[in-house]
Amino acid sequence: MRWVESGDVRLAVHEEGDPGHPVVLLLHGYPDTHRVWDEVAALLRDRFRVVRYDVRGAGASSPPRDRRDYGFDRLLADLGAVIDSLDVPKVHLVGHDWGSLQGWEALGRDGIGDRLASFTSLGGPGLRQVGDFFRHGRRRDVAAQRLRSWYIGAFLLPVLPELAWRSVMPRLVSRTLRRGEGVALRPGHPAATMAADGRNGLWLYRRNMPATLGDPGLDPRVPGIPVQLIEPTRDPYVTPALAEAVGRWAPELWRRKVAAGHWVQRSRPGTVAAMIGEFVEHVEGAPAGRGLRRARAGGAFGGRLVVVTGAGSGIGLATARAFAAHGAEVVCADIDLDAAKQAVDAIGRDLGGTAYAVRVDVANADQMENFSRNIIADYGVPDIVVNNAGIAVAKRFFDHSLDDWRRTLDVNLWGVVHGCRLFGAAMAERGEGGHIVNVASLAAFAPSRVLPAYSASKAAVKMLSDCLRAELADQGIGVSAVCPGFVSTAIARNAAYPTESMREEAVRGLARRGYPPERVAAHILRAVHRNEAVVPVNLEGKIGYVLSRVSPRAMRGLARLSVVAENREIAGNDRSYRRR
């Protein structure tokens, strides 16, 4: 630690890392100290010169003699003094909470903005931008943000906030960290000085909030400095609408999300450090990684990496093409490599998209292990995984052999289990969320006399999806079970039947139905965009889903009516898994 003088205050500055490396300056918020960054700093110091300091009146830094000297002019003078002491032309600034607000204000200030090579904000925009949002945003969005900002009014009151910091507030902050965000308390955070820091820091609100938020003459736009917004999706103080609006004011913006609460640098230090490091290295000249490309890409799924199994035909092919048409890079996986290559060629030729062909048997655990490992190593952790591959066997229960059961469950159920387990774990570790789509069927909730193995496997897929959705919600990972009815694909011709006449009848039935797989793909994209749990597709799928919930007895009765109808249902879930 060393001291830097700024006016009448002494700032406690901490440094680590090689002095010759690019400088990353971490600025803490309220009521924290520099120690809130301990975990992130430890992960960055091998590649960067990491600098932290306690802002005036916090931690070891002294408070000003006049308690009103917490305005932005004074705060940015402190920041400038620290930067001057580093003897470098520019620094990469990272701010959290009030540190972020100072960073946004610094971007447009002469004499300080030109010292910033980049800025990473953990949270939302600055006060100028919030004021503009309050004046010009949609009424309901503004109302929602004002509701989340209720505490600001409380901090502006006289006397009472000081009394709260002398009594209940330190315990309340500690409880919020531990119970609300799952962050373990440790030496240094919360700081031993938190009660005094909280009282001093009240003047951050009192000196800056009314003056900045209420001044319509302040320009909310920032110059073309690279800005990375790391948005904790469970931050109780910033609405998604406010974070979304940042693009209005920052022309060079990378926006990224982390499934975490307000103190994201404590709950997800590895993810935050990786994002900071990747961004700084890119600004310094390194190629942009997938995360940064995704943060800048256009289109509904621009820059996303999507893995689709059974992508050689049917719903899988239509889904791969739909994601590619919306800007995603797609891994087309199929047991038939030639079919996967044809899908990739068509995506490049027809859509100008980027896709990769991979052969994999989803029923083979070893192949799926290698498949997931290679995809992550070559292309990165997928943002979306569509477990679509499947097969059908159309026989009565006593006509099913053990091999029929094994093959059906290995592909339809275990293939989904492998995809969810391997890719879902990588998504959770990355910490940036994601989505898993498991393509089930109308058969998941419609019993059938001739599809016992198929129906059982699809019902299991739906229940697995419900279980995973509950488990992965806190990781920001959505899970959807898509349940199509009768769809015009080749699964009927590829299914196993007791007789050829049943096969031909099923094929003719699907052709007459005339429901193309492209419409199912549209439902899949919508399910990801809206994070829908269960998605019945087409009329019979929706009717079957409603009946299964309203009158399960009626569904059991329908299962007994017509073997012909059941023969047609085997084609209802259009997977393109090629039987060997």
Per-residue pLDDT at 573 exceeds 50:
no
Report residue 153 as tokens.
Answer: 């009014």
CB atoms near residue 288 (< 10 Å): 17
To 10 degrees, what angle do helices 98-107 and 72-86 make?
80
Q: How confident is the model at residue 121 (pLDDT cuts 50, 70, 90)?
A: very high
Give the model's pLDDT for residue 276. Answer: 98
More confident position, 563 or 205? 205
Give the model's pLDDT for residue 503. Answer: 60
Per-residue pLDDT at 316 exceeds 90:
yes
Cβ–Cβ < 8 Å for 120, 106: no
Per-residue pLDDT at 99 exceeds 90:
yes
Measuring CA to CA, which residue among 574, 421, 562, 397 is closest to residue 486?
574
Per-residue pLDDT at 568 exceeds 50:
no
Give the integer Cα–Cα distance in Å for 313 and 326: 19
The residue-averaged pLDDT of 507-530 equals 84
Peptide bond into 190 cis (omega under 30): yes
Per-residue pLDDT at 547 exceeds 90:
no
Per-residue pLDDT at 298 exceeds 70:
no
More confident position, 285 or 547? 285
Read off the pLDDT of residues 155-196 as tens digits, 9 standing for 90 and up.
999 999 999 999 999 999 999 999 999 999 999 999 999 999
Per-residue pLDDT at 578 exceeds 60:
no
The residue-averaged pLDDT of 380-396 equals 91
Angle at Cα 287 formed by Cα 281 and Cα 292, nearest 5°?
A: 75
Per-residue pLDDT at 132 exceeds 60:
yes
Read off the pLDDT of residues 210-228 as tens digits, 9 standing for 90 and up.
999 999 999 999 999 999 9
Give the model's pLDDT for residue 557. Answer: 81
Per-residue pLDDT at 491 exceeds 80:
no
Instruction: Give the mean pLDDT of the chain.
Output: 91
Give the integer Cα–Cα distance in Å for 410 and 404: 10
The residue-averaged pLDDT of 131-150 equals 96
Q: How confident is the model at residue 502 (pLDDT cuts 50, 70, 90)?
A: low
Give the model's pLDDT for residue 472. Answer: 96
> Is 454 assigned a catalytic role?
yes
More confident position, 360 or 489? 360
Read off the pLDDT of residues 147-157 as tens digits, 9 standing for 90 and up.
999 999 999 99
Give the model's pLDDT for residue 450. Answer: 82
Cβ–Cβ < 8 Å for 225, 172: no
DSSP reduced 3-state for 156: coil
Q: Which residues contact 136 (CB under 8 A, 6 or more apart)?
A: none
Read off the pLDDT of residues 250-269 as tens digits, 9 standing for 90 and up.
999 999 999 999 999 999 99
Per-residue pLDDT at 278 exceeds 90:
yes
- Please identify which of the residues 53, 454, 497, 577 carries the catalytic annotation: 454
Give the model's pLDDT for residue 511. Answer: 60
Q: pTM for the full model?
A: 0.86
Read off the pLDDT of residues 32-49 as tens digits, 9 standing for 90 and up.
999 999 999 999 999 999
Q: How confident is the model at residue 299 (pLDDT cuts 50, 70, 90)?
A: low
Per-residue pLDDT at 375 exceeds 80:
yes
Give the model's pLDDT for residue 571. Answer: 44
Q: Identify the weakest region by mean pLDDT among 243-252, 290-299, 529-538.
A: 290-299
Q: How confident is the model at residue 13 (pLDDT cuts 50, 70, 90)?
A: very high
Give the integer Cα–Cα distance in Å for 394 and 396: 7
Cβ–Cβ < 8 Å for 223, 108: yes
Read off the pLDDT of residues 428-458 as tens digits, 9 standing for 90 and up.
999 999 999 999 999 899 888 888 999 999 9
Give the integer Cα–Cα distance in Å for 341 and 333: 9
Cα 374 to Cα 23, 103, 311, 380, 517: the distances in Å are: 34, 40, 18, 9, 29
Per-residue pLDDT at 336 exceeds 90:
yes
Give the model's pLDDT for residue 577. Answer: 38
